[in-house]
Structure 1
């Protein structure tokens, strides 16, 4: 698949995700946070384009030599994307999205058919190296993303952790597998992206076929959240709170979600409630972006 097209789809997915209105508890087109605003996310979605193109080109280059997939250097691409974002806005707006979209971009570059995409994501992730892990740790530190990589022996904040990753030949895939018990993005990337491919993508595709892109985005967000307690919330406020938020999302969906007047009113109330209590389902937003990307790859890429 054409790397330039893949990069455009990654950018589109990023900006559509943040534009979803009202995406409860998150920045969206009518809502800013004190430390980051809607335009920050738009800029972030644009500036990662060249890095997603790089991932896609490397995937395309090595698609017939899968033993060379480590040369994609996924960790390096993620780190470069975080650095590029920091240069433009000085904030962490897209580490999670980049973490999902970079392997998708590489896998799309490898794929001649949509049915190959998910399996190629697995191949890309399993080919990561200890050097990728070190660059990923650097990306976390640059983005100051609390909660990721907090292992007893491999804490991202530990200056000796980098050396241990190299010495013990611990790959980025292995690091993420360690985090998968408490971080949904880590679980997603070490288990063939089940939320993206089995929940988010089919939901977005089905709603978009009958409704607006915005409705598809918000309904996809709510659907993912209703089925998967957000681990950004659970890390900050505990699992019980994350489950309560998911239960609220499910209740809204039972009332039609954004597709009905009653559901739409409930979403607005839910948004205010989450903001009032400083509950940000940011992991769900990242998974919404990856779901949108897969939907557009399916529609325009193959």
Structure 2
């Protein structure tokens, strides 16, 4: 399988992050509207400063996540991309080595776990809480990252990606992207289509952590009712912005849906460049 050079991986990662910001993604920060005390410029800076760590030649998955989060915290002072880095780091390593993603995920060990746990503590994502096993705040040696992600998979879609060879990205994200292109949509509306697919298909993990599973399911159901029937070929900015304002006024940020969107774009770009993931 062809291996991609780190410089190209870095370029594709940065482009995926910036492309996601150009799209109208209801409830998230995007070019049409800020929100949740964050600006588009925070995410642009985050993409720029985390890209070298994400694509560093020879680095382990955990190192890429930890160093990307550290660079982001130093530059913008808050968590803007922990989920993005957790999803994109295995893709970057698989593309660099020219191996299937599953082989990278299967090899994640305690060193990766320790670095990823350090990244999570540094990012301090909202609503993290405590876990019965493999709590990131607990003392002692971190477990293998593969094991920790499998433990968290039932309650977190990013962890579930690690445990399922990125099933959600391949089925929901890539499927929505292909359909949007078949419908004649161009960026950034193809990206909006991907985000809407995640928002209407899955209860958002970030919302669930902060407000509970029932609220996350209610947000998904409301998005289905309000947005699932929209024809993006008509560029329904007004309807999307109305739902965007509704979520932001309520303090509801579907951050995991945005993270999955970035990772879908990154996976698509890597595959389009020859990576067989």
Tell me, yes or no, whether TM beats 0.5.
yes
Q: 1:258 aligns with which of 232, 235, 246?
A: 232
Alignment of 1:145 with 2:145, yes or no, is no
What is the CA–CA distance in structure 1 between the aligned matches of 2:243 and 2:166, rounded to whole Å?
A: 27
What is the CA–CA distance in structure 1 between the aligned matches of 2:239 and 2:219, rounded to whole Å?
A: 13
- Please state which structure has a larger fraction of its residues in helix: 1
Aligned residue number for residue 296 of structure 1: 269
Alignment of 1:90 with 2:74, yes or no, is no
Q: 2:13 aligns with which of 10, 15, 18?
A: 10
Residues paired across the two proteins, number? 271
Higher relative contact order (CA 8 A, sep 6+): 2
Question: Contact 2:205–2:256 at 8 Å: present in 1 too?
Answer: yes
Q: 2:156 aligns with which of 175, 183, 189?
A: 183
TM-score (structure 2 length as normaliser): 0.90
Alignment of 1:276 with 2:256, yes or no, is no
Give structure 2 stretches of 5+ with no counterpart: none
Give structure 1 stretches of 5+ with no counterpart: 59-71
TM-score (structure 1 length as normaliser): 0.83
List per-residue Cα deviations over 1:231-259 (Å, max 9, x = no partner).
11112222222122212332345422433
Aligned residue number for residue 38 of structure 1: 40
What is the CA–CA distance in structure 2 between the aligned matches of 1:221 and 1:257, rounded to whole Å?
A: 14
Deviation at 1:287, TM superposition (A): 0.1
Alignment of 1:103 with 2:76, yes or no, is no
Question: Contact 1:219–1:257 at 8 Å: present in 2 too?
Answer: no
What is the CA–CA distance in structure 1 between the aligned matches of 2:44 and 2:53, rounded to whole Å?
A: 16
Alignment of 1:236 with 2:207, yes or no, is no
Helix, strand or coil at the partner of 1:93:
coil
Helix, strand or coil at the partner of 2:29:
coil
Alignment of 1:79 with 2:53, yes or no, is no
What is the CA–CA distance in structure 1 between the aligned matches of 2:228 and 2:134, rounded to whole Å?
A: 42
In the TM superposition, what are the counterparts of 1:189-208 in structure 2 within 5 Å?
189-208=162-181
